[in-house]
Amino acid sequence: MRIAVVDDESVFREQIARAILSLYGKENASCFHFAEGSELIRGIRGGFEPDAVFLDIEMQGMDGMETARTLREMGLDIPVIFLTSHTEMAMDGYEVNAFRFLGKPLDPEKLRETLRELEKRIRVEEKLLLKVEGEEVVYPVSKLLYAEAANNSVRFVFDGNVTEIRMKFSEAMKLIDGVSGDFFRCHRSYHINLGRVKKLGTTEVSMDNGDSIPVSRSAAPEVKQKLFAYVRRNGR
């Protein structure tokens, strides 16, 4: 997840970035710092595509509300989380479709709740585009339990559906990881959805559709680490 942190106080930018990364994990999020709203707008016009924006309302130059209005005028539906020490300004956020308001100083639990809701919002938009028999087919990535290498093809195992496509396994993993950070290669032939793991064993994982997936000895410690990090992050 790419998160823009916009605040004219560098100390607070660093503070919220550290808080986000400590709660979300460096492997799952990257924070990009901007000292004012106009810097963010220039960055976006230059090709930067944030998944969410943590935006201070009161800044020198282009303030938070003006920045949010500009984002909406550009046709961007990026979730905006306002940062303010004046909660009475929350009403103004409705006109720019604010995602959340967080008070200063930060409340760690409220930040945690915001990140969980943010992840749910972004995950809805995660789609996997696969070419099946010459046609482009869109699948929700949350429905993908795992990908399995099968000779010169890859089996994509979804809820109630298995699609086999002729492609390299490395290409399949790159495609999946490009839309979701919740997958992990637990074996040379398997790339699993951590959110669909029901049980973790010493040499295998059980997926919630009943399939058992082997876990290589070298990958076992990291599988456990990644799975626990997922559970902490998502509350399950």
User: Which domains, ranges and CATH numbers included, belong to the chain?
Assistant: 2-124 (3.40.50.2300), 127-234 (2.40.50.1020)
Model pLDDT for residues 171-228, shown as the tens digit of each residue: 999 999 988 888 999 999 999 999 899 999 989 999 989 999 999 999 999 999 998 8
CA 205 to chain centre: 23
pLDDT band of residue 89 (cuts 50, 70, 90) is: low
pLDDT band of residue 229 (cuts 50, 70, 90) is: confident
What is the share, in percent, of the chain residues with pLDDT greater than 70?
Answer: 92
The pLDDT, as a whole number, for residue 206 is 95
pLDDT > 80? residue 121: no
Work out the end-to-end distance of the chain between its first and last CA atoms, rounded to an integer number of angstroms.
20
77 vs 234, more confident: 77
Average pLDDT, the chain: 87
User: Region 20-26: what's the mean pLDDT?
Assistant: 78
Q: Would you call 188 exposed, middle or buried from its count of C-beta atoms within 10 A (0-12, 13-18, 19+)?
A: exposed
pLDDT > 90? residue 126: no
138 vs 192, more confident: 192
The pLDDT, as a whole number, for residue 181 is 85
What is the share, in percent, of the chain residues with pLDDT greater than 90?
Answer: 50
Sheet containing strand 212-214, strands side by side: 197-200, 204-207, 212-214
pLDDT > 60? residue 91: no
Find out whether 93 and 101 touch, Cβ atoms under 8 Å.
Answer: yes
Collapsing DSSP to helix, strand or coil, 181 comes out as coil
Q: Put residue 177 in one of left, alpha, beta given phi > 0 → left and psi -120 to 50 → alpha.
A: alpha
92 vs 23, more confident: 23
pLDDT > 90? residue 55: yes
The pLDDT, as a whole number, for residue 22 is 82
Residue 5: how many other CB atoms lie within 10 Å: 24
User: Region 66-95: what's the mean pLDDT?
Assistant: 79
pLDDT band of residue 27 (cuts 50, 70, 90) is: low
The pLDDT, as a whole number, for residue 214 is 97
β partners of residue 183 = 193
Sheet containing strand 153-158, strands side by side: 161-166, 153-158, 144-150, 190-193, 183-187
Tell me the C-alpha distance between 161 and 119, whole Å. Answer: 25
The pLDDT, as a whole number, for residue 235 is 47
pLDDT > 90? residue 85: no
